[in-house]
Chains A and B, each alone.
Chain A
Amino acid sequence: MVNGVNLLFQFLDNFAFIVLAAAGLAIIFGIMGVINLAHGEFIMVGAYATTLANIRFGLPLLVAVPVAMVATALFGLAVERTIISGAVPNWLWKYARLGLAGGLGRLAALDAVPERAAASIDAATRRLPESPLVEPLYDRLADSMVATWGLSLILVQGARIQFGNSLDQVGTPVVPFVGETISPAQIPLLNLIVENSEFSYSAYRVSLAVIAVGVLAAVYVLFTKTDFGMRARATIQDEDTARALGVDTGRTYMATFAIGSALAGLTGALYAPTITMVPDMGTGFLVESFVAVVVGGPSVVLGTTMAGGFLGAISAAVTNLLGSTFYGRIALLLTAIVLIRFLPSGITGFVRELRERRQEAT
């Protein structure tokens, strides 16, 4: 059953899916300590935005994809400001509180006895708690999960109410220079080793692997070569010190969430042509991305790459050997369980421990 080239294409397909699904989730988790259980729905937002831009507004797919990315990023920004950081409700509360206190003060000033007026202002303001209305969800794993899970339910049903139970679908685009399908026999070198050329693959899906590598490279550059990346890394290493040194950690978190959302939007946009456009399409992405983040460990780029490569290879091999996607999936989940048992902090966590141990030894 196993056929080397066949396996390679399937691996590329799996790798692309896992990496693209996980990238946004990994960034948000790795930097903010927020687990976004609505990640699948963010992908749905990107897919819907692409499809609507393409079908309803006639934008070509190449334009629709960045439009969807921007739309999902803006959406993520709104979610971060209202739910994750609570900045918007706190801001509203602050002004409502000031307004209330001011109003009460003016009322009290009408009172003839000044002492009584002062006392009543005091009493009134004391009754309005000073603390912010909403505590940010940073580093609160369970809380962030509950909040975003609720958000995901709202998004699924909201999409259903707004857009109905399905959207028309965009057709799979043709890849330049390659065409619609790709088969091992088409590639000169592979042609020599593969005799039967009955297999053909969607060239578009295989090319997503290239895009996935591009996304990882871009994330790597962003977090290691830019000022923003430096501030972000400072923020996760020690938030208080970073703030003391002048890093606006709130803004860093906000930008991180928007970037993670944009990546989810990109994933949705890229997979929109291959997956049925229904409101609960996001669930298909969440499981794989979740497992990839757990297996990958704390380092976003390296972890996601390794998890994508490792899990993609296992799933492709088992699927191929046993001839069923079902077993491929079981193997993927079993691998995750075994890995977590022995490497509780994921692949990159293990690598880091090794490195630290070696440093201590020298």
Chain B
Amino acid sequence: MSGDGFSRRQFVTAGGAALVSGLAGCSGGGDGGGGDGGGGGATTDTMSSDGTVTLGVLEDQSGNFALVGSPKHKASLLAIEEINNDGGIMGNQIEYYDPDPQSDNQRYQELTRRMIQQREVDALWAGYSSATREAIRPIIDQNDQLYFYTTQYEGGVCDKNVFAVGPTARQQLGAVLPYLVEEYGPRIYTIAADYNFGQLSADWVKVLADENDAEVVDEEFIPLSNSQFGSTINNIQEADPDFVMSMLVGANHTSFYEQKASAGLEVPIGTSTAMAQGYEHLRLDPPAMANIYAGVNYMEEIPTERNTSDGGFVDRYYEMWPDAPYLNEEAENNYFSIYMYKKAVEQAGTFEQDEVKEALESGITYEAPEAPEGESIALDGATHHVDHHMWVMRADDQHNVEALDDRVIEEQFLSNTVGCDLTQEDEETQYTPQDYFEEAG
């Protein structure tokens, strides 16, 4: 078994090139036929003149983020259909464009330009990851496009055109971390994905630990490509913390939960990234997610009347999409923000984006599925963020999910710490905790 036929050097050079292009290919995805998916079909570009309003919905229906992105796409279409069946917005039917960006940031940029310049959308919903948001934000700002970013994220975006209606790290971790400190003790071990979302989230853990008289005994950042967690599990066992905070992200990192279960690591885990987005409690075999506590504004399982009753949000979603695997956190954010947009347009009495933004800044509220009966959630005009109703959800060893705690947590970083007020001053900045908190440095 020894071959003389192939030069090893040749193999190595060619191989290296292929690996690099392979990695590029992960996000490349090809430009595909694409085109505009199930657009409404009308040919006009301008809205109110002939009785339509045009929305752009760019969510990942394929590619790396398809698992978490396609529920967003589906829930957007549900909201649009409901509104259209109900007579549209101020009597105008919603027309929508929803080409598939295929989890490819370059494609996102092209499609964003196309949505703004050719389709002249009145509002745009786009993107799962923070990287995508930052890739298209310059285009959004250049065109002063009304834009909704709905993923839970690290927080800090103070931008006059961006309505970041997903919960921030401070809101999500702020729901679950204090609960776990009280329940299990003050020693925290942080594991997080090694890119800006994970790094910033880990900083927030430190800030919140400080506020709750807890301490981070160690933190570990894990490359997104890593799917082997043997040493991480050992490190946690050695540090012996009271609980772990996990901001692992993506398919590779999901392996952590299975691996820690089979290695017998039984320490409780708090998270902002597991279960609510990628429904790991349904995909993994129990007991991988046992004792995982998620701080979320929404999961399919949250026990509110609007969510679980007959004909509630969950029912309506599965009636429209019987084969959908899950209704995730971001899907609800897309859903309620489309309704918030409707409310704002009706308040403004026009589709003109500047006036709709002003209406949104006036403090629009909506009785979203995440809020219990009699309550609603409010869009904070100054920061363009939402004061969410946050939940602490726990999975047991059979992967049944129950709600342990719920309360309204306001966006605090931009409003209290930074002092971002978009009603007074136009900005296009993302602030980070390092600039304001010593313990985050």
A and B associate: yes
Contacts of B70 in A (CB 8 A): 165
Contacts of A181 in B (CB 8 A): 262-264
Is there an interface contact between B225 and A284, defined as CB atoms closer than 8 Å? yes
Contacts of B6 in A (CB 8 A): 29, 33, 139, 141, 298
- Return the chain A residue nearest B231 by Cβ: A319
Is there an interface contact between B223 and A326, defined as CB atoms closer than 8 Å? yes
Residue in A167, A171, A278, A352 whose CB lies within 8 Å of B286:
A171
Instruction: Give the residues from 125 to 180 in chain B that come closer than 8 angstroms, CB to CB, to chain A.
Output: none
| A68-76, A105-113, A260-268, A339-347 - the one binding chain B | A339-347
* A199→B285 CA distance, assembly (Å): 23
Interface residue A201 (Cβ < 8 Å from any Cβ of B): yes
Contacts of B12 in A (CB 8 A): 294, 340, 344
CB distance from A236 to the nearest CB of B (A): 4
Is there an interface contact between B11 and A294, defined as CB atoms closer than 8 Å? yes
* CB within 8 Å for A325 and B226 given contacts A139-B6, A181-B263: yes
* A31→B255 CA distance, assembly (Å): 34
Interface residue A37 (Cβ < 8 Å from any Cβ of B): yes
Is there an interface contact between B231 and A169, defined as CB atoms closer than 8 Å? no
Interface residue B251 (Cβ < 8 Å from any Cβ of A): yes
CB distance from A212 to the nearest CB of B (A): 15
CB distance from B131 to the nearest CB of A (A): 17
* CB within 8 Å for A10 and B230 given contacts A294-B8, A326-B221: yes
* A277→B4 CA distance, assembly (Å): 38
Instruction: Give the residues from 308 to 340 in chain B that come closer than 8 angstroms, CB to CB, to chain A.
Output: 325
Number of residues from B at the complex interface, CB < 8 A: 63
Is there an interface contact between A200 and B1, defined as CB atoms closer than 8 Å? no
* A201→B265 CA distance, assembly (Å): 9
Is there an interface contact between B258 and A274, defined as CB atoms closer than 8 Å? yes
Interface residue B83 (Cβ < 8 Å from any Cβ of A): no
Is there an interface contact between A31 and B258, defined as CB atoms closer than 8 Å? no
| B38-46, B61-69, B412-420 - the one binding chain A | B61-69
Contacts of B33 in A (CB 8 A): none
Contacts of A87 in B (CB 8 A): none
* A278→B253 CA distance, assembly (Å): 12
Is there an interface contact between B1 and A31, defined as CB atoms closer than 8 Å? yes
* CB within 8 Å for A325 and B232 given contacts A153-B30, A180-B264, A276-B252: yes
Interface residue B238 (Cβ < 8 Å from any Cβ of A): yes
Interface residue A228 (Cβ < 8 Å from any Cβ of B): no
Interface residue A42 (Cβ < 8 Å from any Cβ of B): no
Chain A 204-229, CB within 8 Å of chain B: the 1/0 string? 11000000000000000001100000
* A204→B237 CA distance, assembly (Å): 18
Interface residue B25 (Cβ < 8 Å from any Cβ of A): yes
CB distance from A53 to the nearest CB of B (A): 15
Contacts of B67 in A (CB 8 A): 165-166, 278
Chain B 1-37, CB within 8 Å of chain A: the 1/0 string? 1111110111110110011011001100010000000
Contacts of A6 in B (CB 8 A): 234
Chain B 220-242, CB within 8 Å of chain A: the 1/0 string? 11110111111110110110100
Contacts of A340 in B (CB 8 A): 8, 12
* CB within 8 Å for A274 and B262 given contacts A35-B11, A281-B251, A294-B8: yes
Is there an interface contact between A276 and B255, defined as CB atoms closer than 8 Å? yes
Is there an interface contact between B8 and A17, defined as CB atoms closer than 8 Å? no
Chain B 247-281, CB within 8 Å of chain A: the 1/0 string? 00001101100110111110000000000001000
Chain B 266-308, CB within 8 Å of chain A: the 1/0 string? 0000000000001000111110100000000000000000000
- Return the chain B residue nearest A196 by Cβ: B238
Interface residue B396 (Cβ < 8 Å from any Cβ of A): no
Contacts of B358 in A (CB 8 A): none
* A224→B30 CA distance, assembly (Å): 44
Is there an interface contact between B1 and A300, defined as CB atoms closer than 8 Å? yes
* A71→B434 CA distance, assembly (Å): 53
Contacts of B283 in A (CB 8 A): 166-169, 276-277
Is there an interface contact between A145 and B14, defined as CB atoms closer than 8 Å? yes
* CB within 8 Å for A297 and B259 given contacts A157-B62, A325-B222: no
Residue in B3, B26, B234, B278 whose CB lies within 8 Å of A298:
B3
* A114→B47 CA distance, assembly (Å): 74
Is there an interface contact between B11 and A172, defined as CB atoms closer than 8 Å? no
Contacts of A237 in B (CB 8 A): 2-4
Interface residue B194 (Cβ < 8 Å from any Cβ of A): yes
B10, B11, B232, B255: most-surrounded residue (chain A CB, <10 A): B11
Is there an interface contact between A139 and B286, defined as CB atoms closer than 8 Å? no
Contacts of B10 in A (CB 8 A): 141
Residue in A9, A142, A320 whose CB lies within 8 Å of B14:
A142
A199, A281, A316, A346: most-surrounded residue (chain B CB, <10 A): A199
Is there an interface contact between A149 and B21, defined as CB atoms closer than 8 Å? yes
Contacts of A277 in B (CB 8 A): 283
* A223→B2 CA distance, assembly (Å): 11
Is there an interface contact between A278 and B21, defined as CB atoms closer than 8 Å? no
Is there an interface contact between A200 and B263, defined as CB atoms closer than 8 Å? yes
Interface residue A94 (Cβ < 8 Å from any Cβ of B): no
CB distance from B318 to the nearest CB of A (A): 16
Residue in A10, A171, A301, A324 whose CB lies within 8 Å of B285:
A171
Contacts of A153 in B (CB 8 A): 25, 30
Instruction: Give the residues from 312 to 340 in chain A that come closer than 8 angstroms, CB to CB, to chain B.
Output: 316, 319-320, 323-326, 328-329, 340
Contacts of B229 in A (CB 8 A): 325
Residue in A10, A141, A223, A352 whose CB lies within 8 Å of B231:
A10
Instruction: Knowing that A9-B230, A29-B11 touch, tell me 6 more A-B residue pairs with CB under 8 angstroms.
Output: A10-B234, A35-B11, A35-B18, A284-B228, A323-B218, A324-B220
- The contact sample of 22 A-B pairs, CB cut-off 8 A, is A9-B230, A31-B1, A37-B18, A37-B22, A142-B14, A153-B25, A160-B66, A165-B70, A169-B288, A198-B238, A200-B263, A202-B259, A205-B262, A232-B1, A276-B283, A280-B26, A280-B251, A298-B3, A298-B6, A325-B220, A325-B223, A346-B8
